[in-house]
Structure 1
Amino acid sequence: MTELTAVRTVDYHTGGEPFRIVDTRAAELPPVPGDTVAERCATAIGPGGSGTAPRRGELDDVRRLLVQEPRGHAGMYGGFVVSPDDDGAHLGVLFWHKDGYSTACGHGTMALGAWAVDTGLVAAPDHGDVQVRIDVPSGRVAATVHRDGGRTTGVTFRNVPARVAARKVPVATTLGLAEADIAHAGACYASVRARDLGLEVSRAALPDLVRAGREIRTALATHPGTWHPGGPLLSGVYGVILYEELPDTPFGPHQRNVTVFADGQIDRSPCGSGTSARLALLAQDGRLGAGEDLLHESVVGTVFTGRVLPSDGGEGEGEGEGGDGVVTEVTGTAYRTGEHLFTLAPHDALGPGFLL
């Protein structure tokens, strides 16, 4: 970090989950080697492949500076805007969190859609919709930005196809035995019913939910259902979704969840790509009929609405997972929270900071 003096960011929140955007092209930050976003993500993660091993490199120093205290916090999330794979997308992104990098981020995709319109990168009407196409490590996704009266009123995230990999996998935790359903939706998610562990999805239960999420992730580390045919980059449990059923709405199922990802990080939103994973499971169970939506709540009370598209609804978007799967859309809101110029004083003994 000795040569880095300042980093400019634009911050959003989507359903309460932060997303800190750094445009590496405008800032002239050092590029990550690789011909595609997926290759750059693999390079950033490093040979360990887990995304949590120590990393080297100037751009990763920027990540640590922005996610660690005193400039960030353990719950911070963000992305480096990079060039897309080709002219079919408006931008590419490398998603990051306190422990490293991720292959998917639905809430970040929604924030990037709003940012692309706010900055004029993608022209948008005062009334109507505009689609922002984004290359992420798991493939090409889209954020449809909804506009009314000259302002953004919501964003719909179309993910890569989501597919179910395993059902009712027994997992032992210190809170008891539970069953996990595994689905891939740009990243691998394990879904567990919270009440099977004697828990409810609430703020008061967060310490136990985080402990359970960590234990479940560890228990499933070698399960074959966590392997993705696309290779190691997309394999391994990224997030554990602890959910509870709420009374159905007239439009379909209603659930509340907390997603514990990376090394015990909590998603404040209902989790965009995690919602895609839940939709794939609900579709397989026959609980989502034509035209029905999942009302998906977070632990802080924010809501995403998700749906499974007809089999011919992809139209070229949501590519990258390969093979079978369902195409999903998740709608939420994203709001700008600030613009920042972060600096590192040359004699600051804390350097890029610390995490508690």
Structure 2
Amino acid sequence: MRWKNVYQVVDCHAEGEVGKVLTGGVFDVPGETMFDKRNFLMQHRDDIRRLCLLEPRGSVTDTLSIVLPATHPEAQLGFVSATTTEYPVMSGSNVIALATVLLETGILPMSEPRTEFVLEAPAGLIRVSCRCVAGKVQSVRFANQPSFVYHSDERLDVDGLGLISVDVAYGGETFVLVDAGAIGLALEPSEARELCVIGEAIKCAANKRLQVQHPMNSQLTGIGQVQFMGPVVRDGSSLSSRNAVVLSPGRLDRSPCGTGTSARLALMYARNEIAVGDTFIHESLIGARLESRIERAVMEGPQPAVVTSVEGRAWITGLHQVGMDPSDPFGAGFALHDTHAWGPGDRGRHFF
């Protein structure tokens, strides 16, 4: 076998969302911070992402965490997340999958009943607490970087919908949030494709009309995802709701989305719909659930913000090596427009 670029990958899913973890084959990349390392991978080693996530080795629904040495003294390890189109600075489902893989494969030592450690994401430090029983990670709770609202109750003219009301919030990624019922959507699995088509149209309109720039990192601009929100049901200090998050290049997050949950909590807090410490259960279209809460109110530079925590579960599904024969004409990966999520206007770069 004449493989080169051989990577050790642990397959995992967090509440239904595929989160592969690259544990071997990438020893380190240049950069003083994890954000710098993310930029280096994006600009100079995008072959790793393409090899692991694009066809013929990957799928449009796959995501990846690349494990790297931390640059911050408080963190045990660092990671850079990647999808089939981009490098988000934070991903909640990837943190849940990554933490599960690190402990269940022995990369980090497991302590029962709880193991705590710190991960360094491009967005900043992520503090993780895992509930562990009999060698299994039962759940992962992470404290996210501060979340906040960029825009409230903006009117947006969307092709095919007309004028709709939207909000824009940051939860590790930037989301345009839409009341699903207000545009006639019930958030049922049968609406999955319709949600993606409408979501991409909303994202396009939002990026044309609404400017965003992270107050602490001027390189973080633009709106990357769309979140459709169902009604909130309250039971004492516990609240719950269904959501659907449309990810690039136009497909649904199978989980309720960790960063999307943080963004929604920031919006609910700004609207006085939730208090610090209240439990919020987010449910996706497949019935997967994340439990979350607001830990405290903070300032992110000049921006009022909240620190949230999100808890979910993950399961390892396989172990394998990813490699490429030098004669393989598809070593760089490819995507075809026959895959329903790839639309003609998306940002993918590897099409026939």
TM range (shorter): 0.7 to 0.9
Task: Give 1:5 shift.
Answer: 4.7
| Partners of 2:54 and 2:26 in 1: CA distance | 22
Matches within 5 A, 1:85-124: 85-124=71-110
| Partners of 1:67 and 1:294 in 2: CA distance | 32
Matches within 5 A, 1:188-337: 188-245=174-231, 247-311=233-297, 323-337=303-317
- The residue number in structure 2 matching 1:50 is none
The two structures have a TM-score, normalised by structure 1, of 0.87
CA gap 1:321/1:125 in 2 versus in 1, 3 angstroms: farther
% same residue: 28
- The residue number in structure 2 matching 1:27 is 25
CA gap 1:288/1:320 in 2 versus in 1, 3 angstroms: closer
- The residue number in structure 2 matching 1:44 is 41
- The residue number in structure 2 matching 1:9 is 9
Count the aligned residue pairs: 334
The DSSP-based 3-state class of the residue aligned with 1:9 is: strand
User: Does the Cα contact within 8 Å between 1:190 and 1:241 map onto a contact in 2?
Assistant: yes
Deviations 1:35-66 (A, max 9, x none): 111112233344xxxxxxxxxx4x32121111
| Partners of 1:42 and 1:232 in 2: CA distance | 14
RMSD after superposition = 2.2
| Partners of 2:218 and 2:39 in 1: CA distance | 9
Indicate which of 53, 64, 67 corresponds to 2:53. Answer: 67
Matched, 1:145 2:142: no
User: Does the Cα contact within 8 Å between 1:253 and 1:287 map onto a contact in 2?
Assistant: no
Deviations 1:62-98 (A, max 9, x none): 2111111222111111111111122210111111000
| Partners of 1:310 and 1:231 in 2: CA distance | 22
Indicate which of 306, 319, 332 corresponds to 1:339. Answer: 319
The DSSP-based 3-state class of the residue aligned with 2:219 is: helix
The two structures have a TM-score, normalised by structure 2, of 0.88
Structure 2 unmatched runs, 5+? 340-352
| Partners of 2:120 and 2:223 in 1: CA distance | 22
CA gap 1:309/1:246 in 2 versus in 1, 3 angstroms: closer
CA gap 1:42/1:349 in 2 versus in 1, 3 angstroms: closer
Task: Give 1:218 shift.
Answer: 1.3
| Partners of 2:245 and 2:186 in 1: CA distance | 13
| Partners of 2:176 and 2:50 in 1: CA distance | 27
| Partners of 1:197 and 1:161 in 2: CA distance | 30
